[in-house]
Amino acid sequence: MREIIDLLESVGLANRRPGDRFANDQGQEIQFSDLEFYPESGAFPDEAAMQAAVAQVAQKIGVRPEQIVWANDSRGARAFGIAHFVDAANKDYYLGRYYRSISPNRGENSFPNTLPGGFRLQTRAAKKEQTGYKPTEVLTDLTNLTPDSIYQQIAARFGSDSDEARAAQLFMAADAFPLDIPQGEMNPTAFSDYFCEMLQPMALVMGKPVKGNADQAEKIFLTDGGFTECLISFGASATGGLSDSQLSNSAGQSIILSSKAKSGATASAGNLKDQMDKVRDTPAGDRLLKSHAKAVSMLDMIVDGGYINGPLNLAQLFDMISKDEADQVRALRKFQGDPVAEGMLSDRLADMYRSRGTSDPKRVVPFYHMLAAIAHRVADHVNQETDFSSAASAILNQGALVQMYTETGSRPGVIVIKGFTTVYPSQAVTDVMLRAGKTYYSTDNKGNFTFEILKNGAKGVDDSAVSQQTDTKPDVDLDRVSQARADIRARRDSGDEKSLGRKRRR
């Protein structure tokens, strides 16, 4: 799990500003002018209608359709976007991208900032992203690493004589801080925010002087040898999406480390339960679990119930459906047809079934559609009407999770590693949100609920904000889509262009 630097960066061109510069390694530069989506939301009825619209737009902007450079192919697409750029000689360039559908929320229509021809965004944040310093970008082997094997991979990635390899060598040889690192061609911000995520666990395993109270967590969770007996792993698969790196000993005991970045990642129900169970190893944690018994019970219902009974049991707990209605949902598993027309659903279930919209009703599988309608409502209720998020955050922070901060400074030509500070119990987890959007669809199911673990005040993306269903994306309640579109129209009518996150073509 990595930093979500900024919504503007993550969605690419959809929230760029006119005048933003892009450059390539050959020194060529272009400026962003605007981006329009066609249609403004939704999709054309078929590919022929879409291609006709492409021809009309090309005629309007004064180019031939073949002069538009397309970033992807049109297979399966029913919508498109056109980005307009201008070079130093005031020559126009147009870049297109095809979509299955256009979300009414403009920011959800991803249009990457890296353009054909090697053009890259030139903002400070974008340059930091382009360094390739994240552990998952540097390391080809992410699990069960020693400090030396991490160094070897850094040298392989950047070169044994590189600034990055030299920095790692100096760090490994140091026995005190502050430590001067020749900057060379390195980006200081990326070095501090990303590169040092590899150095943080190395510092603990190598026994370097680290400030703070990580030793308290070490005594509780690494009883069979301390930090110096551990191997290091990175990435969501190693930490369950809960943090940035993990220290594990040969007895299977582990502690996960969290950096200071605002970030979010998906964790499975099993990952979350495993971490909560570790909290029982501390007297304070056990008391915390008992004080948040309802939140723990909800998680148990999700894990024990699986993808079918998890949402159905929670829906019964919240009086959304009755036991008989849960049985009606289960009875749809082998049914094909319209369960509402066949009278197989109660009035309440029928309302839920009808209110859930899809981009292609012909592909709907009744059982999955009904289950998804309930699962999304359950997730909304848990997130908005219960204290699950705050309770789960408090429990995780009391567990085998240590916050770790890198303190750096600089002077001309030098990056200074001032030191590392650890915090336990952690305050890193600030929200835990129940999510149905990645797994519950109207055409299929991809597993149980997931959880979005948000750190250091990061904000998640609500399931209700996602676009209508495709083969790989969830669908949404029609009432929510209608409201989102109404909000957009209202802001347009009021002339609030900033709130729309777009600049209209003059």
pLDDT digits (tens, 9 = 90+) for 448-480: 999 888 877 777 655 554 433 333 334 434 344
Where does the pLDDT of residue 489 fall: very low under 50, low under 70, confident under 90, or very high at 90 and above? Answer: very low
**Is residue 376 helix, strand or coil?**
helix
Confidence (pLDDT) at 175: 93
pTM of this structure: 0.60
Residue 486 reports pLDDT greater than 50: no
Three-state DSSP at 134 gives: coil
Spatial distance between the Cα atoms of 224 and 229, rounded to a whole number of angstroms = 9
Nearest to 131, CA basis, from 111, 150, 154, 112: 154
Rounded CA gap, 386 and 379, in Å? 10
Name the one residue in this structure whose structure tokens are 């699986």: 306
449 in Cβ contact with 310 (< 8 Å): yes
Summary mean pLDDT of the chain: 82
38-47, 304-313, 387-396, 425-434: range with lowest mean pLDDT: 425-434
In the prediction, which pLDDT does 20 show?
76
Cβ atoms of 131 and 162 within 8 Å: the answer is: no
Place of tokens 């705050």: 390
pLDDT the model gives residue 425: 85
The letter for the amino acid at 87 is D
3 pLDDT above the threshold of 60 = no
**What are the start-end ranges of the H helices in 318-411?**
323-330, 347-355, 366-385, 388-398
Mean pLDDT value across residues 418-445: 90
Residue 243 above 80 pLDDT? no
Question: What band does 187 get if pLDDT is binned at 50, 70 and 90?
Answer: confident
Range ranked top by mean pLDDT from 15-24, 148-157, 453-462: 148-157
SS3 12: strand
Among the listed ranges 144-148, 299-303, 391-395, which one has the minimum average pLDDT value?
Answer: 391-395
Relative to beta strand 92-99, strand 69-70 is parallel
Degrees (nearest 5) of the Cα angle 334, 379, 443?
30
Highest mean pLDDT among 93-107, 115-129, 169-183: 169-183
Each residue's pLDDT tens digit, 192-226: 888 999 999 999 999 999 999 999 999 989 988 89
User: What's the CA gap between 346 and 231, in Å, rounded?
Assistant: 55
pLDDT score, position 19 = 74
Percent of the chain with pLDDT over 90: 47
Q: How many CB atoms lie within 10 A of CB 69?
A: 14
**What does each C-alpha distance from 344 to 8, 330, 340 come to in angstroms?**
46, 11, 6
